Amino acid sequence: MIEIIKAILFGIVEGITEWLPISSTGHMILLDDFVNLNVSDAFYEMFEVVIQLGAILAVVVIYFKTIFPWGFGKTKTDTKNTLNLWGKILVACLPAAVIGILFDDWLDEHLYNSIVVSIALIVYGIIFIIIENKNIGSKDTKEVNKITYKQALEIGAFQLLALIPGTSRSGSTIIGGLLIGLERSVAAEFTFFLAIPVMAGASLLKLVKYFLKVGFVFSGLELAILCVGSIVAFIVSMFVIKFLMNYIRKHDFKVFGYYRIVLGILVLLYFLLLK
């Protein structure tokens, strides 16, 4: 029962931090330092990525009418525009897909630690505040369908920053979107859509590595932890996505920048002075 409660906690953290620009991977690493699941290292390494599938499903449910090319009274033009949007999403995936596959093991070994997470939280928190204070970017792109393939590739390049834990995948792509002229809501929506293939691919890669290492087997407890964590992440994500879209219509991202800086400093002090 204790392990299930821990899985619920991990699901809550994943559901909140996956979509807010504050780094889900960073928070999961930090949470693991305080709340250890009683599972093997191989299972946990897979779990912290695959739990994101629950969060992905929330995007699919909320935006299904937008991202599904057919039905819902869509005209041929609407279908063409939706397929074109998916083309841009796939283009934006290319940089992270190539670099992520090539350097996945190296990144896990060298960068997945609390010090790197703390520094990344602070640095990108400062960047968020600077961008918002200076109102950088023209904000000319006011609809997701108006994003060009060039802009999609540029956002994909910014997504490479998220390979550093603590950076935030949503944070890096939103920063990139703001810098190249996307409105906040457009940058956030494209980030949500981009998460579907990126996180599905990352989860598939982790599952394949896990099965090659351990075999096609889960214990009853492991399966329960994976299912509970993913379901909770889905439920929490449904609320968080809607909250974020409502929030950014009236506010900027500076509050997330300040949060990142404060959290990064506290974590850095904890691990340098107390642990």
Three-state SS annotation for 209-246? HHHHHHCCCCCHHHHHHHHHHHHHHHHHHHHHHHHHHH
3-state helix, strand and coil shares in percent for the chain, rounded to the nearest 5: 80, 0, 20
pTM of the model: 0.85
Read off the pLDDT band of 138 (50, 70, 90): low
* pLDDT, position 10: 92
Which has the higher per-residue pLDDT, 139 or 116?
116
CB 51 within 8 A of CB 10: yes
Q: What is the residue whose two structure tokens read 């299930």? A: 4
- pLDDT greater at residue 51 or residue 40: 51
pLDDT at residue 34 tops 70? yes
Provide CB contacts within 8 A for 146, sequence distance 6+.
Answer: 186
Q: Which two tokens stand for residue 55?
A: 């969060």
As a whole number, mean pLDDT of residues 28-51 equals 82
One-letter amino acid identity for 227?
A: C
Poorest-pLDDT segment among 21-30, 47-56, 226-235: 21-30
For the chain, give every domain's residue range.
2-274
The letter for the amino acid at 67 is I
Closest CA to 131 of 189, 83, 174: 174
